[in-house]
Amino acid sequence: MIHASWFLFKSFMDNEKLAELESKIGVTFSNKDQLLQALTHRSYLNENTKWHLDHNERLEFLGDAVLELAITEYLYEKYPESPEGDMTNWRAALVNAIMLAEISKKFDLNDYILLSRGEAKDTGRARQYILANAIEALIGAIYLDQGYEVSRDFILKFVATELDNIIKSKTYKDFKSKFQEEAQEKAGITPTYEVMDEWGPDHAKTFKVGLFLEKELVADGEGNSKQEAQQEAAKNALIAKNWN
């Protein structure tokens, strides 16, 4: 059965484009509204007040939990001898915003998200987080429409397949821990972090954090949480000190 909202949907994305996305992700939705809501960014509603669906943040909340469960289950089963610490780091490397934004390129998710005209022009760091959040929303939509097994299959196909590269390149390492080890060994100093600036609405704040060795500002980093900004600052500091 075709939902009534499908006809409204056609004015924004035709049948072929929708089928194109479903083909790329390997999932055909029973309720097209589930997919459409996953693609609806909050900013789109500001310019389209009569839009019949809510934005994708509730689906993102759900999808985040499904993603973490599926990846945790996958790691637990595939690496029965691995300690908790390693699996925690691998999981974090798989589900962080930068990785998810890269994964979104596998099925060109950026081409399908409904954004305001202003957001559509921004292709920088903010777009990375929009894409990462949209993947989580998409997972939430798949879970509601098709169930856990189909959403898990999607996650294993597009996300878990990045694990071998992560382990090989050692990109799962915690930058804060690495920099602290190097700083204590080479300079005898424990680094500190300070929030230097923050901006944006409550639901999408960006933080700028500085990493200091005593009074020396070594590097700074930005992120959608203080923790992300600290990790980015530590990564930049490793490069600045040539400790990586």
Cite the active site residues. Answer: 64, 136
Q: 3, 20, 39: which is closest to 141 by C-alpha?
A: 39
For residue 13, the SS3 value is coil
Q: Which residue has the tokens 């589930």?
A: 34
User: DSSP string covering 170-197, please?
Assistant: TTTS-HHHHHHHHHHHHTS---EEEEEE
Tell me the C-alpha distance between 182 and 174, whole Å. Answer: 12
Tell me the C-alpha distance between 25 and 63, whole Å. Answer: 15
Residue 114: burial class (beta carbons within 10 Å; 0-12, 13-18, 19+): buried
Q: Tell how strand 192-199 and strand 216-223 pair up.
A: unpaired
